[in-house]
Amino acid sequence: MWARVSQSLDEHGVPTGAPLWRMVNPIRQRETMLRLRCQFCREPARTQDGILFVLSAEECVPEATTTVRTAQPPFCLKHARMAPRRCSHLAEHGHVALLAQSAPLYGVIGTPHRYAAADRSIHVLASDGVPVPYGGAALDWMIAAQLVRTLRAFKVINLDDL
């Protein structure tokens, strides 16, 4: 099950308004991650060289053998360069740009719940923010808010070189 929030749509069903970098709409996040679309313009993010992800240096300074999982949707080449300037978190903590050859789906981040058979109630549990893999038992009682991908065969790149 996926979290839902209200949003304003234009006549084509496209969300309107400026991106709120810290507060990604769960539906937009899911769509852009599922279809590998740019999180800014929703155009395809895959290029002939790979899929471009811009992550916080605070959460990720990868080496070639590092397993990188991210809930951050990719960027197209045009909008990747502006992300570190427009996103206050990236501006404050620095960024790492990764060009991945593949990015298979891994699982979700969300709010876990537990069913109590004794009183037939559902209890909201604290979320630790750790991704739950598809097929994991915890997924049965999760309200997902973010789709997560594993970045494979990636290289660290300099956005200024694009």
Do the domain assignments include residue 60? yes
Domain identity same for 89 and 117: no
Confidence band, pLDDT 50/70/90 cuts, at residue 126: confident
Whether 110 contacts 127, CB under 8 Å? yes
In sequence order, which ranges of the chain are alpha helices (DSSP H)? 26-35, 77-80, 83-86, 88-93
Do the domain assignments include residue 138? yes
pLDDT number for residue 104? 97
CA distance 3 to 17: 20
pLDDT number for residue 36? 97
pLDDT number for residue 46? 93
β-pair partners for 102? 152
Do the domain assignments include residue 1? no
Whether 80 contacts 52, CB under 8 Å? yes
Confidence band, pLDDT 50/70/90 cuts, at residue 138: confident
Domain that holds residue 82: 26-105+149-157
Above pLDDT 90, what percent of the chain? 45
Whether 115 contacts 77, CB under 8 Å? no
92-125 exposure pattern, b = at least 16 Cβ within 10 A, e = fewer: eeebbbbbbeebeebbbbbebeeeeeeeeeeeee
> For 28-79, what is each residue's pLDDT tens digit?
899 999 999 998 889 999 999 999 999 988 877 777 677 899 999 999 999 9
Average pLDDT over residues 139-153: 92
Whether 84 contacts 120, CB under 8 Å? no
Domains in the chain, number: 2
94: tokens are: 């620095």
Domain identity same for 38 and 92: yes
Instruction: Give, as one character, the DSSP assignment of residue 118.
Output: T
Domain identity same for 76 and 45: yes
Domain identity same for 69 and 122: no
> Does the pLDDT at position 21 exceed 60?
no
pLDDT number for residue 19? 58
Question: In this structure, which long-range contacts are made by residues 7-16, counting pairs with CB atoms below 8 Å and at least 24 apart in sequence?
Answer: 14/42
Do the domain assignments include residue 42? yes
Domain identity same for 91 and 66: yes
